[in-house]
Amino acid sequence: MAGELSPIDRAKFVAAKRAADMVEDGMRVGLGTGSTAAWLVRCLGEMVQNDGLRIKGVPTSSRTAELAREVGIEIQTLDEAKWLDLTIDGADEFDRDLNLIKGGGGALLQEKIVATASDRMVVIADKAKEVESLGAFPLPVEVIPFGWQTTQALLEETLVAMEVMGRKTTLRMNGDAALVTDEGNHILDLHLNRIGNVRQMALVLNQIPGVVENGLFIDICDTVVVGYGDGKVEVRDINEGTVETDQLDFVETENLFTDLND
């Protein structure tokens, strides 16, 4: 229940709850992946069950699709939906220009496709995800399995000429084996510490043979909803240049918010 959450989970919960209020009846909504996005799916499920909200969700991973079904959200593929009114997702980092690093949950490819097929992207995050410069969180790069070590070597060679503070790259693992994404690819995590020019980095990485997509989301996010452990929420709109502050009260809920693990 919301009242029993840790401060970090309360921050995620209030951000998700505030973003859920942006969803209107009849919308086609992109559903993100990750711990904060999972709270959003739970909130929307509660609105579907208790308030009669009618939406069609397009999940960005098999995990999100499974959760959406569990809470009663009707889901579609992106091909079926064609275009979305809104995508709500989390982020591993965001800066003051609402540029993002995403992909900590391994779903960056589908997340980026869904986000760019939407009229609007809203990011939900706790305050700790805000940074002065992107790069402290390892930057995920999705690569095809064929020749991934060659792709890794090309990435490391490319980073020598880039404005970064670190150049270590690692293959993301799932136990003793390489992680396999929903699209059958691998992920290389780039430990850059700080990225001086995010636009240049995003463009250069995608020119390397074997790279499918990178986790830099540039000029994609329109609004970020920042949650705090005391229930405060900030809504920052990059297009309008506005910042709104709300205070959400915690209320007892049913099992919709219990046993949520990500």
Q: Which fold has domain 139-214?
A: Alpha-Beta Plaits (3.30.70)
**Measured between alpha carbons, how far is 189 from 142 in angstroms, rounded to an integer?**
9
Structure confidence by residue, pLDDT tens digits, 80-120: 999 999 999 999 999 999 999 999 999 999 999 999 999 99
Is 262 known to sit in a ligand binding site? no
Is 35 known to sit in a ligand binding site? yes
Active-site residue, selected from the candidate residues 111, 130, 213, 240? 111
CB burial of 61-75 (b: ≥16 within 10 Å; e: otherwise) equals bebbbebbeebebeb
**Measured between alpha carbons, how far is 1 from 233 in angstroms, rounded to an integer?**
19
111 is catalytic: yes
Domain 2-129+219-252 has CATH 1.20.1640.10: no
DSSP-derived 3-state class of residue 201: helix
The residues spanned by each domain of the chain are 2-129+219-252, 139-214
Is 231 known to sit in a ligand binding site? no
**Measured between alpha carbons, how far is 58 from 138 in angstroms, rounded to an integer?**
27
Q: Closest by alpha carbon to 98, among 235, 197, 222, 241?
A: 222
Q: Could you write out the DSSP letters of every residue in 12-67?
A: HHHHHHHHHTT--TT-EEEE--SHHHHHHHHHHHHHHHHH----EEEESSHHHHHH
**Measured between alpha carbons, how far is 132 from 258 in angstroms, rounded to an integer?**
34
Is 72 known to sit in a ligand binding site? no
- The pLDDT tens digits along the chain (262 residues) read 455 889 999 999 999 999 999 999 999 999 999 999 999 999 999 999 999 999 999 999 999 999 999 999 999 999 999 999 999 999 999 999 999 999 999 999 999 999 999 999 999 999 999 999 999 999 999 999 999 999 999 999 999 999 999 999 999 999 999 999 999 999 999 999 999 999 999 999 999 999 999 999 999 999 999 999 999 999 999 999 999 999 988 654 545 555 444 3
Distances (CA, A) of 257 to 10, 46, 78, 97, 115: 11, 9, 27, 32, 25
Place of tokens 């705090």: 228
DSSP-derived 3-state class of residue 130: strand
pTM: 0.94
Q: Which amino acid is at 210?
A: G
